[in-house]
């Protein structure tokens, strides 16, 4: 069995080689979460939103975590980066491995997502797998079957704290960012027009009505009986 000093030397050698191979891929350089979050739109009612989170850590800091969802690579997540993507509700299979040439082993996590909800997935170094790589080479990691990174769903409260120090990374060609949607313009309210108030018929004065009635009698259009009856009604309304 290796001595502790041999393990430490091997670990730093592994980190040095990883840094050389990965180049400058070790740190996220996109917009900070505090700035980006101000423009995040609510989750669409027909989608679910997944946050992929990788908080800063020394272990495997120079290695990007390649993340695939349902077989499609959505990002190569560097140290201190996050990505928010939207997916249809249903079952998700998230796989995480690294981008180093010849790397073997991946972590698999499968769970169901519901429409209109957010999920927070933490991508973190798998210390057990790293130890297996150092002590037994690639075969040890493959035997564990979970690769250099592990995948866990974490609660929103924990995720919110971790996101504060992270920066958003680019998304893959088959994923889509959470778009900042413009609030829909308020449509004018269709108002039902009320009918105009009924107007009262314009009535002439009693004098004019009596004169008109007398003219009808003189012209023979009404008889005396009709004249007397209508005259009494007009006089009654005064």
Alpha helices (runs of H) in the chain, residue ranges in sequence order = 4-22, 33-36, 127-144, 156-163, 206-218, 224-237
pTM of the model: 0.59
**Beta bridge partners of residue 50, listed in sequence order:** 85, 119
Say if residues 119 and 89 touch (Cβ distance below 8 Å): no
Q: Which two tokens stand for residue 172?
A: 């893959």
DSSP 59-82: TTTTS-EEEEETTEEEEEE-BTEE
Instruction: Give the tens place of pLDDT for each residue, 101-126.
Output: 666 678 888 999 999 999 999 999 88
Instruction: Give the tens place of pLDDT for each residue, 169-210.
Output: 988 633 344 444 333 333 334 344 556 666 655 567 888 888
* Measured distance CA(229)–CA(227) in Å, rounded: 6
Q: Which two tokens stand for residue 30?
A: 């996109």
């Amino acid at each position: 069995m290796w001595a502790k000093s041999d393990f430490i030397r091997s670990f730093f050698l592994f980190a040095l080689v990883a840094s050389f191979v990965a180049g400058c891929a070790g740190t996220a350089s996109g917009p900070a979460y505090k700035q980006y979050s101000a423009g995040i739109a609510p989750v669409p009612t027909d989608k679910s939103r997944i946050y992929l989170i990788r908080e800063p850590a020394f272990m495997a800091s120079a290695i990007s975590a390649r993340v695939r969802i349902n077989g499609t690579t959505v990002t190569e997540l560097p140290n201190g980066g996050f990505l928010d993507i939207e997916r249809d509700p249903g079952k998700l299979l998230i796989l995480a491995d690294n981008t180093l040439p010849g790397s073997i082993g991946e972590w698999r996590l499968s769970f169901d997502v519901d429409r209109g909800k957010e999920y927070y997935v933490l991508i973190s170094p798998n210390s057990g797998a790293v130890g297996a790589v150092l002590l037994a080479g690639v075969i040890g990691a493959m035997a564990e079957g979970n690769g250099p990174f592990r995948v866990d769903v974490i609660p929103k409260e924990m995720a919110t704290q971790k996101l504060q120090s992270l920066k958003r990374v680019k998304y893959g060609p088959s994923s889509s960012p959470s778009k900042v949607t413009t609030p829909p313009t308020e449509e004018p309210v269709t108002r039902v027009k009320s009918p105009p108030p009924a107007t009262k018929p314009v009535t002439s004065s009693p004098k004019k009505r009596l004169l008109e009635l007398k003219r009808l009698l003189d012209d023979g259009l009404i008889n005396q009986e009709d004249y007397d009856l209508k005259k009494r009604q007009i006089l009654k309304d005064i």
